[in-house]
Structure 1
Amino acid sequence: MFILSIFSVSTLNYTLFEYEKKNKVWSDVAEFWIEPYLGAYDIIKDKTKKEVMITSLPHMAYLAGFPYKNIYFYRYLEKDRFNKLEENIRNYKNGIIVLDKKRNGGWSQGLPYQDFDMGGKKVKLIKEIDGIYIYEF
């Protein structure tokens, strides 16, 4: 009976883990499982024709199909992050910025939660969905 119980529990754990693996993706950055098919993902995957993606969620950019060389990681603890962001906006014709709420104002100063100007271009807030802010320039 004891062996059967252990087998049942381990089978249940394995089944739940396989469900997690199938429907979610491990984020090395955030160190937790994320769902790549959130509403934000659906918006991002339609923007892969943009030249660049600046993001705090590089795994989502990769899953959406952005070439690795066109993904720039937004490091919320870097003191010169806004200068680097402005430089990227200035250097590329168009792009998308995708930041999760914790790194965009939750843990440190982030971008405005509205349209703003940077790098000589208008940066528009497309949508805030599931705690993810999506901007376009």
Structure 2
Amino acid sequence: MNPTANLADHRPRLRATAPGLFCLAIALLLTAFAWDKAEDVYWLSRRGEVVTATVLSEDHPRRGDPYITVGYTTSDGSKLTNTTSDYDHAEVGKPLQIRYDRGYPDRLQAADRPLSYRDVYLQGAAAAFLFLLAAALLIGRRRA
């Protein structure tokens, strides 16, 4: 009898199962989305500046969130046109208060939307759950 063979029977091993890999992939995506949202909230709260923009168009794609295109002038006088889906109500041709990041003017949202980490926490909790589920599905013990 080989003593090392007996120890190998009790070590965890990686089982590449489709559900485990799927959970891992979704957890990684949720982590990336949470990181992106956290970065937006952080910089808008630190360097955000509120200006009046004009709503140029509102689009409702078949898939995804509706978004608006706004034109605005930054504090240094640059005229920019950008899109955002972070708004509650907008009418084409009407003014809208927006908050943009002075360091990265393409990062913006409607000023009446709260700067909240709630979505980050929810996505992070879902990602943590999926990481744990993926670990449980991928790492198992051999049965003798």
**TM-score, length-normalised on structure 2?**
0.25
- Give the structure with the larger strand fraction: 2
With CA pairs under 8 Å and 6+ residues apart, which has the higher RCO, 1 or 2?
2
TM-score normalized with structure 1 length: 0.26
Greater CA radius of gyration, 1 or 2?
2
